[in-house]
Amino acid sequence: MPDKRPGIVGALLGGIARLRAVGGKTWADVVITLGVAIAATAAALALNITTPIRFVENLTYDFRLSGGAPKPQPQFVIFKIDDDASTAMADASPCHCLAPINKAWLGDLIATLDSKGAKAITVDYLLDTWEPGPSGTSLDSPEFKDFEARIANVKAPIIVAVDPNRKPGVDFPVSKHLRYSDARALVHEEYDDVIRSYDPKPGGLWSLAAETEIATTGQTPPSKKFRIRYRQPDPEARAENAGAIAPSYSAAFAAFAPEDKVRGRIAFIGSVTRSATADSDTPKEDMHATPLRFQSGHRQGTPGVEVHVHALSQMLTGDRVKVPGPLWDAAMVLVAALGGSLLGRSTQRWWISIGIVVLGLMGLMAAAFVIYERFTLMIPMVAPSIAFAFGFFILSRLVAAELQNQRAFYSSTLERYLAPQVIDRMVDHREEVKIGAEEREITVMISDLENFSNLVASLDLETFEGVINEYFDGVIDILWKHEAMIDKMTGDGIIAIFGAPVPYEDHADRAIACCREIDLFGLEIRKKMIARGINFGYTRMGLSSGIGLVGNFGGEKRFNYTAYGEVVVIAARLEAANKTFGTRILFSADTLKLAKKNVPIEAVGEIDLKGVPMPIPAYTTPTDAEAA
């Protein structure tokens, strides 16, 4: 069944036909499915490196991360440099300004937190810039000496951030009370500038969270960059603290903070401006887009100090967001493409196909969420979804094109026997069709044209061709209207079957109605031909109903779908008996018993038929033309 269509589809279908010819249908189907899956995988992986697809993949990552966030640990407290703290700091500053940070005020804050029993104090501010001293450098800075005096009795470790490009002891004085850390730790994604990773050792110094872990546990943290597993917000966080990972208090009122919320906890000091109003003196700074940006308290950004707390919390618990490597990603994309391709092999209506794709994609998404929640494994979602959809649509379109090709083949083959509407239902699988030999109840109609031999002898070839073609065109149109199967055309006669290969319960009614309509057509065309001087005879028909043997019969090289049995013999004998009784339609009592519709019926009597052991009752049906 070669494909005659030009273009890529025709070439593909031709290749599929050759594969099946070489290795058989099963082998070819496996090769085609694998080929489509590999092509869909390659396309999905190629698209996966583009910015739009990476953006969507990151969105799915963020939704899973925020939706599957673990509970926070109760070992942190945050003291915010907010509007109130900024005002207090500015009031305590000789210049009454917000920048640079008032080190004296900060030193007193650190001392206050230590007095409340803080386990460690981590300052998310750069402490590498001091007012110059008499020497013109900051190494003998009075501001530094004052700060040192204020924190001299602090017992808790103090971790501060510095610019790694500034050399300690050269660019700024070094304090024995401070533990210095690299300010570069928050890793912004290049696609959307969202912080999803943390670098515990971006240079020679540890990061703020890593140095805090060393100071509080004595353990060496991981040195390689890792993906942050953000925590749920503190359950008691409300109002302006909504979304905070730990209890949060304004640094301006640190002296009044509950001691039980500070003692034994790691206290973080940093800028938190999520509650700053439009007319606030405190600018919204150190706010970063994170995977939590869809949650309350993070829509305008997550404070950098809180990101450090999230990272430290993860480092202390040791949990990790596991991300498969490129090979595993490719394998998962291939599996999704295979799944889509296998589903695409099923022949479905377009709306069912869309439903399958939607359900498949929803299944992939649900699986990705469950896998992360249970195993903290962040599998790709977008590339497998694209591969699944590509695999499904490519293979479903190939199957549809192949079915269309088959439909054209079957239609061209069957249209010689069946009405077009019957072929449509057969190809669309709306009719149960069995073409193997079987016993089935059918009605057989056999027709004959009176004086056909004389008609052939009396007309020239061209006239005869026009007359007989006009006659058969009309008869065949009526047969197809009543969905008969044309078994054979025998010169001037036709053998038609009602009820096979497509079964109909009303095959007898269809056959009688068809004969009546053919009779009217035969009378009309006879009248027309006689007017032209052509001696055109009557159309005579015989009908019989019963069990017949129907199916494909013949040899290996040629066969035909036909019917055998007494039902065929009786129909043929009744057609011939019309000449004796002067009728044009004769049918058996078996046909009359099966007919449900009311039409004019006249009994002819019992007839002895050649080849039939017993006489059978015969009936005719006068047409409207006769009644007139």
Give mean pLDDT, residues 595-622. Answer: 90
Cβ 553 vs Cβ 623: under 8 Å: no
Question: Please, what is the average pLDDT of the chain?
Answer: 87
pLDDT at 76 over 90: yes
Question: pTM of the prediction?
Answer: 0.67
pLDDT per residue over 123-180, tens digit each?
A: 999 999 898 988 888 888 999 999 999 999 999 999 999 999 998 888 999 999 999 9
Quick one: average pLDDT of 587-600? 92
- Report pLDDT for 428: 59
How many CB atoms within 10 Å of residue 507?
Answer: 26
Report, as an integer, the average pLDDT of 14-39: 79
Whole-angstrom distance, CA of residue 596 vs CA of residue 373: 66
pLDDT band of residue 432 (cuts 50, 70, 90) is low
Please check the confidence at residue 396 and state whether its pLDDT lies above 70: yes
Round to whole Å and give the CA distance between 142 and 208. 26
pLDDT in tens, 518-539: 999 999 999 999 999 999 999 9
Predicted confidence at residue 2, as pLDDT, reads 45
Residue type, 239: A
Tell me if residue 173 falls in helix, strand or coil: coil
Stretch 489-502: mean pLDDT: 88
Measure the CA–CA gap between 471 and 492, rounded to whole angstroms: 10
Domains contained in the chain, CATH given: 7-65+324-412 (no CATH), 71-315 (no CATH), 422-627 (3.30.70.1230)
Which residues make beta-bridge pairs with 162?
182
pLDDT at 270: 93
Q: Hey, which residues does 120 pair with through a beta bridge? A: 266
- Whether 449 shows a pLDDT value over 80: the answer reads yes
**Cis, bond preceding 380 (omega within 30 deg of 0):** no
Position 4 pLDDT exceeds 60: no
What is the mean predicted confidence (pLDDT) over 197-220?
A: 95
Residue 621 is classified by DSSP as: -
pLDDT at 182 exceeding the cut of 70: yes
For 616, the enclosing helix (H) or strand (E) is: strand 616-620
| Position with higher pLDDT, 401 vs 70 | 70
Res 450: pLDDT:
92
CA distances from 390 to 41, 330, 345, 394, 555 (A): 8, 15, 13, 6, 45
- What pLDDT does residue 512 have? 96
Instruction: Decide if pLDDT at 251 tops 60.
Output: yes
Provide the 10 A C-beta neighbour count for residue 384: 27
Residue 474 CA: distances (Å) to CA of 248, 525, 543: 93, 9, 19
Q: Dihedrals φ, ψ of 423, to 5°?
A: -60, -45
Q: Which of 130-144, 440-454, 471-485 has the lowest mean pLDDT?
A: 130-144
Structure tokens of 496? 């038609």
Q: Tell me the three state secondary structure of residue 359.
A: helix
Burial of 603 (C-beta count, 10 Å sphere; 0-12/13-18/19+): exposed
Sign of CA dihedral 580, 585, 591, 594: negative
pLDDT at 3: 47
CA–CA separation, 355 vs 365, rounded Å? Answer: 15
> Which residue has 């696609």 as its token pair?
191
* Spacing of C-alpha 323 from chain mean position: 23
113 touches 254 (CB < 8 A): yes
pLDDT digits (tens, 9 = 90+) for 260-305: 999 999 999 999 877 645 455 555 678 999 999 999 989 889 999 9
- Residue 82 near residue 282, CB atoms below 8 Å: yes
Question: Alpha-carbon distance 318 to 307, whole Å?
Answer: 16
- In tens, the pLDDT along 410-419 reads 666 566 555 5
CA distance 123 to 184: 14
User: Which of 430 and 564 is assigned the larger pLDDT?
Assistant: 564
Taking residues 317-331, what's their average pLDDT?
93
- Give the C-alpha separation, 225 to 215, whole Å: 20
Q: DSSP state, 325?
A: -
Higher per-residue confidence, 418 vs 330? 330
Nearest to 516 by CA among 446, 585, 598, 570: 585
Residue 489 has pLDDT above 60, yes or no: yes
Minimal CA–CA distance to 286: which of 261, 265, 269, 311? Answer: 269
Name the band, by pLDDT with cuts 50, 70 and 90, for residue 420: low
Instruction: End-to-end CA distance of the chain: give it in Å, rounded.
Output: 53
Q: What is the pLDDT of residue 60?
A: 93
Which DSSP string do the residues of 266-289 spell out, in sequence order? EEEEEE--TT--TT-SS---SEE-
What does the block give as tokens for 327? Answer: 């090979």
